[in-house]
Amino acid sequence: MQTSPLLENILNDGATPCYICEEALLEKNLQLLEHIQQKSGVKILLALKGFAFTPLMNLVGKYLVGCTASGLHEAKLAKEFMGKQIHTYSPAFKDDEIDEVLDLSDYIVFNSFTQWKKFKQKALKHSSCGLRVNPETSASPVDLYNPCAPFSRLGIVEKNFLHHELDGIEGLHFHALCEQNLDALKDVLKSFEEKFGKYLKQMKWVNFGGGHHITREDYDVLGLIELLSDFKSRYKNLTVFLEPGEAIGWQTGTLVSTVLDIVDNGMQIAILDTSAEAHMPDTLAMPYRAEVRNAGKSGEKPYLYRLTGNTCLAGDIMGDYSFSKPLKVGDKIIFEDMIHYTIVKNTTFNGIKLPNLGVLQKDGRFIVAREFGYEEYRRRN
C-alpha cells in the first residue's frame, strides 16, 4: 500500500487555498451508507445542497441511488455528473423553470397545495409527485437550521393538509433534522406518523429527508437499521428514501491554506490566504470552531495565534489556536473536515480567490481537479 503524501507537501504556495477531498475517506462513508441500504432495504440519495463535489460524483453514484436537488441547477448538475435518480424539491418552483425541472426529475416534491394544483397537470406526465409535510417536531440545534421552527415556510402543517387534493400524489416527504442522531429521528418519525400516517397506505414512497448524521462515529447505525426495517415491515407498499448531504461529505477532507503574514496587536495574529467568511461560512453562521491539524485550543500548546482571513471584514476570524512551535510566513494551515457545506456556499466576497478543488486519490496521487481565478469574480460583479 502506498502511504499518502503529507498534505503540507502536496501544494506549493501558489496552489493554496485548496480543498482536498480524500477519495478513500469518501468511499468509507459511502460503504457505510451502502451497508444500511442493504440491511434495511431503504434507498439513499445524495442531497447536493451540502456536498456537490463533482470530481468524485461518479464514486458517489456507485453506491447511492441518485441525488436530491433543490431546484433546476442542482437537478442539472445531478444529471450531468451522476445521471441516476433525480428527486427535486423546492420551496417554490418558477413558471419559467418548471418544464425543465420536470424533464430532469424522476420524483418531484411540492411545498404547498397551491404549487401542487398549479403544476399538477404537467407534473403528472413526467414525474412521480409528492408533498413535503412539516411534522412540527424538531430538536435542531439552531433556528437557522430548523425547518420546524415557528412560522417555518418549509412543508405543509397538519391543519393545512387537504386530504381531498391527494389524487395523483404518490409520496410524502419530511425534512426536520440537522446533524442529529437516531433519537431525534425517532421523535420526528413518531410525530410524522401521528399526523400523516393515515395517508401512507395510499402512497408509493416516503422520504425521511436529511440531517441524519450517519457517518459520525457515535451514530447509532444498528438502531437506524432496526428503525427502518420496522417501518418498512409496517408499510410494505412503501419505498423509503433518505437524503443526507452532510453525512456523505463528513470528515472527507481539508482546506489547506498558507500563512501570508503575522502581525502583533496584543497577541500574535496570522493572516491566511483563505477566509472564514468566504470559504468556511458555517464557522461564523452556526457558529462553530473548526479543527486545525496539529493545533490546540488556547493554552494547550506554547505558541498562540489568532488565525484570520485575508479579506477586509474585521470579523473574518477563524479563532485562536495554539501550536507547538512558532508559525512563520509560508507555513501551511490545514482546516479539518472542510468538504461539506463549504464549497457549495463559497463566495468571491472582497475579490478573494476561490479555493481550488483537489482530490487525493486512493492510489496516493494528488490532482488539482478545478482551478479558480479572477474570472469567477469578474463574471459575478
Ligand X SMILES: *Cc1c(COP(=O)(O)O)cnc(C)c1O
**Residues near ligand X (CB under 6 A):** 47, 49-50, 68, 89, 175, 178, 209-211, 243-247
User: Smaller CB distance to ligand X: residue 49 or 332?
Assistant: 49
CB of 213 to ligand X, least distance (A): 8
User: Smaller CB distance to ligand X: residue 129 or 307?
Assistant: 129
User: Smaller CB distance to ligand X: residue 17 or 130?
Assistant: 130
CB of 253 to ligand X, least distance (A): 16
Q: Which residue is nearest to ligand X (CB)?
A: 210
User: Smaller CB distance to ligand X: residue 242 or 276?
Assistant: 242
Check: CB of residue 51 under 8 Å from CB of residue 246: yes
Cα angle, residue 17 at apex, residues 78 and 72 outer, rounded to 5°: 20
User: Smaller CB distance to ligand X: residue 68 or 181?
Assistant: 68
CB of 209 to ligand X, least distance (A): 5
Distances (CA, A) of 66 to 23, 60, 106, 371: 19, 9, 10, 27
